[in-house]
Amino acid sequence: MKGYRSRYKSTSVKSDELDAFILADLLRTDRRNLSAINLDTPFVRELKELIIDRERYVRDEVRLVNRLKGCLVDPEALEFFDNPAGKVALAFWEAYPTLSDAKGLTVEEIKKFLAQHKWYRDQDKVAERIVKIVKGNTIQVLEDVVRVKSRMFLGIVKQLKVVKELIAEYDGEIKHLMEGCENAGQYTSLPGAGLVLGTAIYTLFASGMQFNRLTDIRAYVGTAPVTSQSGQFKGIGFRYGCNRFYRNIFHQFAFCSLRRSQWAKEYYRRKRREGKKSLGKGGLCDVAQ
């Protein structure tokens, strides 16, 4: 709508009455350039909304993980586990929120704790690392600070566990719905896509949107750059006008495909050698195909 206003007014005048007139006039004069919008089926709408809501919980998880790291009374404890917000790590934090709580633990006791939570990989290495960090700690923290921050820390741990459970429930529901879709495997089996990204890509092509050309799809999801050319000048810029939900999905898919697709990995490395930045504004998504 914003682009059409300049066709009728030379100033930035905006009103509901003017917009209504522009829409009515466009239907009269530019009907041949407009395409009908077909609504999504209830099945596609449900899948899309599930993925959008799941993404909100994922963002909550990221926010809580950052708070968890910032709230640790003993920063050295972050080195206990490769993923400080993993299932076993959260269980450990809940049982031993501070280094002083874990001071009396032995290697065997930690290995037993890990086994109880079904952690069998590198038990000796993890247990020895925890004991070494605990015994090597020389930082003294005021007791009142420890009590206050450990309470906050435990609260964040509990929130994280709930959010993770909710995300798992969403994954289960998405999987259940996709099991009834005949061609779901075409999307979930894409290199690096998996269940969630594959389902999101499926909702794009199963939606009511009609794409006549590949460039139409790329413009809609925001992976196609915007080219401005006049005379000898030619500029390539970032595309802001697009469906941001699908732009985020395809950016995630591009990164995830690097681990599974040799072609994607080679393409990424080639563009990095050319001086391109990572995905995002001014990055690889701006490269003209």
What is the reported pTM? 0.78
Task: Give the pLDDT confidence score for residue 132 in this predicted structure.
Answer: 87
Cβ count within 10 A of residue 80: 21
Query: Which of 223, 162, 165, 170 has the alpha carbon at shortest distance from 199?
Result: 170
CA–CA dist 256, 43 (Å, integer): 26
> Residue holding tokens 């009590």?
147
Task: Give the pLDDT confidence score for residue 288 in this predicted structure.
Answer: 32
pLDDT category at 289 given cuts 50, 70, 90 is very low
Residue 46 confidence (pLDDT) above 50 = yes
Task: Give the pLDDT confidence score for residue 271 in this predicted structure.
Answer: 87
CA–CA dist 199, 197 (Å, integer): 5
Q: Are the beta carbons of 88 and 160 closer than 8 angstroms?
A: no
Longest dimension (CA), the chain: 80
Task: Give the pLDDT confidence score for residue 139 in this predicted structure.
Answer: 67
Which tokens belong to 289? 């195909």
Mean pLDDT of the chain: 85
Task: Give the pLDDT confidence score for residue 279 in this predicted structure.
Answer: 53
Domain covering 42-179 assigned CATH 1.10.287 in the classification: yes
Which residues lie across from 234 on neighbouring strands? Answer: 229
Q: What is the mean pLDDT of residues 267-281?
A: 77
Q: What is the mean pLDDT of residues 254-272?
A: 89
Task: Give the pLDDT confidence score for residue 138 in this predicted structure.
Answer: 66
Residue 144 confidence (pLDDT) above 90 = no
CA–CA dist 284, 188 (Å, integer): 24
Helix (H) or strand (E) holding 109: helix 107-116
Query: Which of 222, 226, 225 has the alpha carbon at shortest distance from 244?
Result: 222
* 277/222: higher pLDDT: 222
Which tokens belong to 275? 């001086």
CA–CA dist 227, 190 (Å, integer): 30
Q: What is the mean pLDDT of residues 55-71?
A: 91
Domain residue limits, the chain: 2-33, 42-179, 211-286
Backbone angles phi, psi at 237, to 5 degrees: -125, 175
Burial grade of 267 (CB within 10 A; 0-12, 13-18, 19 or more): middle
At 155-177, the pLDDT tens digits run 999 999 999 999 999 999 999 99
Number of H-type helices and E-type strands within the chain: 12, 2
SS3 227: strand
Residues 6+ apart with CB under 8 A from 180: none
At 101-129, the pLDDT tens digits run 888 888 899 889 889 888 888 888 888 88
Window from 51-65, 139-153, 189-203 with minimum mean pLDDT: 139-153
Cβ count within 10 A of residue 234: 9
Residue 283 confidence (pLDDT) above 70 = no
